[in-house]
Amino acid sequence: MNVVASNKVQSMTASIFQEVADRKLEAIKRGMNVIDLSVGSPDFPPPSYVVDTLVKYAMDPTKYGYTLRGTAEFHEAVCYFYKQRYGVDLEPEEEVLQLMGSQDGLSHLATAFINPGDYVLVPDPGYPIYEENVILAGGNLYSMPLVEENQFLPKLDEIPEDILAKTKMMILSYPGNPVTALADRAFFEKVVAFAKKHTILVVHDFAYSELIFDGNPQISFMSIPGAKEVGIEFNSLSKTFNMAGCRIGYVVGNAQALGVLSSLKGHVDYGVFFPIQKAATVALTSDFSALQTQVKEYEVRRDALISGLAKSGWQVVKSPATMFVWAKIPSGWTSRQFAFELIDKAGVAVVPGDAFGKLGEGYVRIALVQPKERLEEACSRIHEFLFQYSE
């Protein structure tokens, strides 16, 4: 029997992360010691009190049933976290929805809101699920260019009126992935006014909210007056508390929109494991000292990578946030050529920028997920690679 994927699945791009992983595995089989700077999976452990809480409740045999939804305690913890970290007041029952990680919520987003023919505004470059969830829902995409000349912010006034008339949703992410830019309050205020004018649901991915460097402000979209009227914001414990494998996150904001997404989720999952919810609750209500230590370590890693690459003549812009560096590659390569040759010849794995959209061509994304010493070793290998193989 010939089993054929649906047209929607066939229209999706191949997972670049799997391609990079396969290439890395081939290099390892050849005996190469690969430094993996591709996937943004934190190498730090969760805080000890998070692990202790998870173990404690995992030992209770009565906690292995379906949870069906987030506990009231978890919802209150999200509200506490948002008030303490971003000065945002949330109503726990109506304005918070628990997710199995923000990726889970983003993947179901368009299915919950988009009909065939509806448009969604997505950033280019942007995280792949932003586009893929729209494709699966049968919606149409309109790409908003993010270019260095405009501080990687979309020019909303350049979107055609005929597109806006059919647009139902806009996806943004600041701090961004893969583009590590920040947005200021003035931009977000403009977004709120734009969304009200055109009746567009704003979806803000805030997964890197706690990885902001150099004293830059942490600005939640929800802190902007009127944002709850037009938008929702995704956040996660994966990067903030290094709980990536636990698969727990949340979305906050417009109560009506959260109700729609909750209705869909009621048909596709049965809730997050109770011990994980307890661990997440403890994380969100901690004293947050671990977050301060962690962001300083990421700054050290970023600076080590930037300075190490500069010694090879590869000048890369310093990321203001996230666990990534968005690096414009040396001339003479395509993004994919550069990334794959770097694995094959130097044993350093990064992600080619074109995986994140057409405007990602000419860049690679480098993840700061190795200790400083390992990043310095990666820079040494890249230096040799550039000396030997650059035109």
Cβ distance 186 to 225 under 8 Å? no
Residue 375 CA, chain-centre distance (Å), reads: 22
pLDDT, residue 14, reads 62
Task: Check pLDDT > 70 for residue 391.
Answer: no
Residue 223 located in a structural domain: yes
At residue 128, what is the residue type? P
CA angle, 365 as apex, 364 and 369 as ends, to 5°?
Answer: 140
- CA-to-CA distance for 391 and 327, rounded, in angstroms? 19
Domain that includes residue 98, residue range: 62-284
Residue 258 located in a structural domain: yes
Of the candidates 365, 333, 328, which has an alpha carbon nearest to the alpha carbon of residue 349?
365
Structure tokens at 319: 């990321």
- Tell me if residue 80 falls in helix, strand or coil: helix
Residue 2 located in a structural domain: no
pLDDT tens readout for residues 246-268: 999 999 999 999 999 999 999 99
Residue 54 located in a structural domain: no
Same domain, 173 and 274: yes
Task: Check pLDDT > 80 for residue 301.
Answer: yes
pLDDT, residue 167, reads 98
Q: Is the dihedral of CA 138, 102, 85, 306 positive or negative?
A: negative
pLDDT tens readout for residues 100-149: 999 999 999 999 999 999 999 999 999 999 999 999 999 999 999 999 99
pLDDT, residue 9, reads 80
Alpha helix ranges (H) inside 202-332: 227-230, 255-268, 274-284, 289-310
Residue 55 located in a structural domain: no
Same domain, 271 and 328: no
Q: Mind giving me the DSSP string for 82-132?
A: HHHHH-----TTTSEEEESSHHHHHHHHHHHH--TT-EEEEEES--HHHHH
pLDDT tens readout for residues 359-371: 999 999 999 999 9
167-172 and 119-124 beta bridge pairing = parallel
pLDDT tens readout for residues 19-28: 888 998 899 9
Other C-beta atoms lying within 10 Å of the C-beta of residue 85: 17
Q: Is the dihedral of CA 234, 118, 121, 357 positive or negative?
A: positive
Cβ distance 38 to 342 under 8 Å? no
Give me the number of domains the chain comprises. Answer: 2
CATH number at residue 27: 3.90.1150.10
Task: Check pLDDT > 80 for residue 204.
Answer: yes
Domain boundary among 284, 310, 333: 284
Neighbouring-strand partners of residue 351? 365
| Total residues found in the chain within this entry | 391
Confidence grade of residue 308 (pLDDT, cut at 50, 70, 90): very high
Q: Mind giving me the DSSP string for 166-206?
A: TEEEEEE-SS-SSS-----HHHHHHHHHHHHHHT-EEEEE-
User: H/E element holding 327?
Assistant: strand 324-328
Same domain, 198 and 79: yes
Residue 376 located in a structural domain: yes
> Maximum distance among all alpha carbons in the chain?
64
Same domain, 279 and 299: no
Domain boundary among 230, 264, 284: 284
pLDDT, residue 18, reads 81
Same domain, 76 and 161: yes
pLDDT, residue 90, reads 98
Same domain, 337 and 379: yes
Domain boundary among 221, 249, 284: 284
96-99 and 249-253 beta bridge pairing = antiparallel
Residue 110 CA, chain-centre distance (Å), reads: 17
Task: Check pLDDT > 60 for residue 213.
Answer: yes
Residue 1 located in a structural domain: no
Residue 51 located in a structural domain: no
Same domain, 267 and 341: no
pLDDT, residue 4, reads 85
Same domain, 248 and 372: no
Using alpha carbons, list the distances in angstroms from residue 103 to 235, 248, 313: 10, 10, 36
- CA-to-CA distance for 208 and 192, rounded, in angstroms? 21
Terminal-to-terminal C-alpha distance of the chain: 49
Other C-beta atoms lying within 10 Å of the C-beta of residue 387: 10
Same domain, 257 and 298: no
Confidence grade of residue 5 (pLDDT, cut at 50, 70, 90): confident
CATH number at residue 102: 3.40.640.10
Query: Averaged over 188-196, what is the pLDDT?
Result: 98
Structure tokens at 258: 């959260």
Confidence grade of residue 17 (pLDDT, cut at 50, 70, 90): confident
pLDDT, residue 13, reads 66
pTM: 0.95
Same domain, 89 and 140: yes
Same domain, 380 and 301: yes
Q: Is the dihedral of CA 128, 106, 224, 169 positive or negative?
A: positive
Same domain, 180 and 309: no
Neighbouring-strand partners of residue 171? 203
